[in-house]
Amino acid sequence: MSQQQQVPELSVVILCYHSANVVRDLVAQVEKEMEEAGIDYELVLVGNYLPGDTNDQTPAVLKELSAGKPRFVVVAEEKQGMMGWDMRSGLDAARGRHIAVIDGDGQMPMSDVIKVYRVLQVGKYDLVKTFRAQRQDGWYRRTISGYYNFLFRLLYPAAHVFRDINSKPKVMTREAYQKMQLVSNDWFTDAEIMIEALRHDLSVGEVSTVFYKNERRGTFVPVSAIFEFLGNLIYYRFFKK
């Protein structure tokens, strides 16, 4: 088979929305680390865009980066949702036996991808994720995250072992992903993945990471996301079949 037809060992989905100013360096780092580690990989670069947004050069940058590189897959479509829709479009495009997903804003070390993947391999987990043991972002993000995790554990007591549901990278086997029924288009997808992990009794591991301050742009997470998150939690806990 050609390289394009082979199923890679690891697909790395990088969510690159409005990350044109940093994505070159991040992608180069991941590419270098994968080659040095000897992992058969593909990079799925998600640069979905809002209609009429002329300020986001990310799709063009991703197209340039992927030119002549068969290991690169670019997903750049007009957005039909927010982060969740982007994540699902990237996960659906991934072909690997294992799938990693990480944000492309530089707030998490890209080296975490290999670290988390190795833990999944050694521990024979279905899914491994990070938890942000050190956070350098501001009080706003830390407060929202605190509410997220408190509400999640309140409604899902079995999740008391999860220290940080929204943290990435998340790495999972293809079998684990195929069991999940992800439908969220908003900021709830990270929590939805963990709910699905609980529902299917998947083995989950966590490793610590550092969450850096984003010096390049403000957060895309609005205050309304707290209420959106709570509504989603109640729906998934009591009403979703």
CATH number at residue 24: 3.90.550.10
d(CA 212, CA 20): 18
Is residue 123 in a domain? yes
pLDDT confidence of residue 153: 93
Q: Give Dmax (Cα) for the chain.
A: 51
Is residue 3 in a domain? no
Is residue 1 in a domain? no
Is residue 4 in a domain? no
pLDDT tens, position by position, 159-170: 999 999 999 999
Q: What is the mean pLDDT of the chain?
A: 91
Work out the average pLDDT over 66-92. Answer: 95
Is residue 116 in a domain? yes
Is residue 167 in a domain? yes
| Structural domain boundaries enclosing 65 | 10-238
- The alpha helices in 94-166, defined as continuous H runs, are 112-123, 139-155
Is residue 5 in a domain? no
Is 121 exposed, middle or buried (CB count within 10 Å of its CB: 0-12, 13-18, 19+)? middle
Closest by CA position to 70, among listed 23, 8, 145, 119: 8
- Number of domains comprising the chain: 1
